[in-house]
Structure formats: C-alpha cells, structure tokens
Chain A
Amino acid sequence: MPINDKNGVKVWQVRDRNSQLIRWAMWMAAGIIFYVSWMKISDQTTWFFVYDAPRIAADIGGRAFPPRWSYISQLGKPIWDTLNIATLGTFFALCMAVPIAFLAARNTTPSKLFIRPIALLIIVSTRSINSLIWALLLVSIIGPGVFAGMVAISIRSIGFCAKLLYEAIEEIDENQVEAITATGATRWQTMVFGIVPQILPAFAGIAVFRWDINIRESTVLGLVGAGGIGLQLQSSLNTLAWPQVSLILAVILVAVVIGEWVSAKVRGAII
C-alpha cells in the first residue's frame, strides 16, 4: 500500500516497503554482476598494451599522414567494383524480395498456413547472417572475386527488403483494393491497379536505403576475397603501408558520403 495512515495523515509514497526492497536488491545484484564481469575482463587484458595505445595510435597516425596520393591511380577500378557490387547486389535482392514480400504479407499471401511461414523463414534466415559471413561462404563455394561479393550482398539484402516491403503491403488501404476487385478485375489486375500504386513510394524508399547500406557493406567484402576496395585495404594493412590505408579510408568515406547524398535526394523526391 503506497498510502500509510499516520495519525490520521495520509502519507503517500510511490512504492510500498516490499517493492522498495526488491528494487534495492535488483540494483545490488546488477552492481555485483558488473563488478565480477569487469574483474574477469581486466584479468584477461594485457594492460600494458592498453596504456600504450595512445602512443601507438599517434605513431600509426603519423606514419599514415600524409596519404600516398599517387596510389589513387590504383584505386579507381576497386572502388568502381565496390559500387557495382552494391548496385547489382541491391538490384538482384529487390528482384527476389518483391515476390517474397507478396507471399509473406498477410493480405496477399496465397496461403497463410503453408506459404507464408516459408516466406518468413527465408526473410529471417537471410537477414540473420552478416554479409561478410555470406561472402566468406561464397568465396569458398564459387571462388574469390566480384561475383561472390555481389551474391553475398544480394542474399543479405533479400530479407531486409522483403521485410520492409511486406510490412508496407500489409498497411495498404483495403478500400482501394476492394474497389478494383468490384470492377471485375482479375487477381493480377487488382495487384497492378490496387496494390502496386500504394506501395510504390515505400518500394523506392527501401531500394535506395538498402543501396546506401550496401555501399558501406561492400567496402569490407574484399577482406575475405570477395572483390572491391577491401582487397586493397587488406593488402595495404598486411604490408603496413599506412599512407595507402589512410588514402583508402578517405576514398571509402567519399564514396559513402556520395551514396548517402544520392539516396537522400531520391527519397526526398519520391516521398
């Protein structure tokens, strides 16, 4: 009881004594867990390296600057590959995501009992594995190169795009669909006239948003041999060529900023 009667005065508190005690116990437990975890991490850390970190970082930074500008002549093709991986990967992902989204949306799926769960399973499974891991798998299956990277990007993107798209499909105005059905239109005509116009803005938004993410993801795919600028990053890191590393990072930054600018423009134009 939060209200106590003391000599006829009603004293009000947020919690009664028991719930107050429970809260204290919870905070206590959380504190102990934090302390124990901290000790564990601390025991396994070589603190000498950590104390040393600022000096090392400054050292690497010093070596990395100025970037080796002449190296840029060798980065043109890799960054072009990276952009292609992102763009084609997004394109193929969308081609597969659209039918999956229609099968997964409650209001368009042919069968809630059988097909919808399968579509949802595809969405969850492709979403749950990082594109770097897909790339790792695909490089061993279809060999290193740009193609493996593109496939990795598109597989990873299917679930993302399909999920957002099927949510958009479920939110459409059913009245418009009903009106088209009432004219005697077929299922496919109803889809083209009643549903597609309603989800088109969402579709465009999802496409450029994912493309924007994929530019960032495809820059690292080279680390596992799946093509793109990550390959150069990897070899520069291995040979401790810090001026090259800083130039690569700068190029990636520029590419990502341009990608983000384009996608913001496109989304602004449509929505």
Chain B
Amino acid sequence: MLKLEKLTKVYKTGDKALSDVDLEVGKGQVIALIGPSGAGKSTLIRCINRLVDPSSGTATLDGVNLTSLGSGALRRERRRMGMIFQEYALVERLTVMENVLSGRLGYVGFWRSFLRKFPQSDVDEAYRLLDRVGLLHMADKRADELSGGQRQRVGICRALIQDPALLLVDEPTASLDPKTSREIMRLITEMCKERGLAAIINIHDVNLAQMFVQRVVALNLGEIIFDGGPTELTPDVLTRIYGEEDWEATIETVDDDEEGEA
C-alpha cells in the first residue's frame, strides 16, 4: 500500500538524514519506527507527505508516486495521509471544533473554510469523533485550555476526519505522562484497527512500541537496521540500534506490563 524505494534526503547543510530507505507497509498495518534521536525518523514521515521534499528515491501510496506530484495533486494525496504531531500542533487560538474541522480543509473551498461553513456531514463526523475520544463537552473550548492528553486526542480527531488511508504519527507520546501515553497509543492503534488504517508511528519508548505494535522498524543514521516483531527486540538488537547499555531492565518491564494489562 505504501512503498518507499531508495528514499534519500540530504539537507542543504550536507547532513544525510535518510539514505536509500526501502520500506513497505501493507494495508491496515501499524508499524512503530524506533531509533535514537537524529536517526531520521521525523524526516522519514515528513518525506512521505512531502512536508520535507526527499532528495531522491520514491514514495508510492496505492500506486501514486508521491515524490513527483505537482502542488494540486499533492494536496489531494495529503488528504489521504493524516498526521499526528509530538507537540500536538493544534492551532492554539482556535476552538477544539475548528481544529477538528481543519482536517477537512483539503475537501472544502476557500470561502467555505474562511467563513467556517463546513458541510453538515463534516460537522456530524467531527461531533462523532469528539464523542469517540471523550471530548464532546470540550467542542467549544479554545485549544489552549486543554491538557496535553486532551490536545493529542483533538490532534487524532483532526487526522481521522481527513478520512485517511494512512496515519503518519510523529512522537505522539513524547510530551505526555506514562498513563496518558498508553491511553493515546491505545486510542491510535484501536482507531487503526476499526478503520483498517495503516500507520507509521515514530516513538522513543521501546516499551510502548512493544506493547501496542506488531511490527517494529528501527532506523539509525538514516538507514533501516532492524525490521521485525516486537519480541525480536533482544538486548543485542537494542545495542545495535541505540548503542551499548544494559537492556535487560527495559525488556523485563515489558513482560511485567503485559501481565499487568492482562
């Protein structure tokens, strides 16, 4: 469904963020992208929806080559890729409802969006999503009045109302406390399951990745160095990804957590 071939990004400064990345994500498949800071995780997902233009290589979504699209066609394809951000990236001074509806901008014309006259079906869907994430009563609050977890839920609604085929998720839990982090990860993975969405989730927390995701891809220095199931993340593998460290504790906690959940 999503296919990356020899995707390479060299920044103007000469930093090579990605080199020849090949990756295939099937329909409805959720993968966690792990790796140390600066490994190129953010660049990778931004190269897919072209917030960053890749230097070479291709990204193909359902047969459409994203890397060669003109601006109009790119906007139409971006509608099919919902993005969720680390710092939520809500428009702080707009209401929750406006933030959710901004996910429909790719579908409505300029004047309708300027006057906030979104089609009734969009408004219905926005209410449905807000209800689903438990924020219906917050619809008219301004986004900056919400807590971190609530903001991220709004961010998820904004991505889902696009009716995407693919979610690009950039460190969704990095600014959240451990409990909220799990709730958000659970929500994202549940939503993917319900709607059959594929997702690439950048994540720092190896535990969380193991807990919620069936496939883990590791990136280091712009190259994929691991691709496998969550149980294959042995201390040896983690050392290859992150460097020398005592990994036993990390992996053990995972087992504890899973027992706790069950």
Contacts and interface: CB of A to CB of B under 8 A. Distances in A.
A182 B92 contact: no
A184 B104 CA distance: 8
A193 B103 contact: no
Contacts of B85: 175, 178-179
Nearest to B161: A183
B91 A183 contact: no
A183 B49 CA distance: 10
Contacts of A189: 105, 110, 113-114
Contacts of A186: 75, 105, 110
B204 interface: no
A180 B155 CA distance: 11
A183 B102 contact: yes
Dominant secondary structure at the A interface: helix
B102 A185 contact: yes
A21 to B, nearest CB: 47
Contact of A181 (B51, B76, B162): B51
A184 B168 CA distance: 14
Given A176-B91, A198-B91, A200-B93, A184 B75 contact: yes
A189 B114 CA distance: 7
Given A179-B90, A183-B106, A192 B114 contact: yes
A183 B103 contact: yes
Given A184-B106, A197-B91, 12 more contacts: A175-B89, A176-B90, A178-B51, A178-B89, A179-B83, A179-B90, A182-B78, A184-B76, A184-B162, A185-B106, A189-B113, A193-B94
Interface of B: 49, 51, 75-79, 81-83, 85, 87, 89-94, 98, 102-107, 110, 113-114, 155, 158, 162, 168
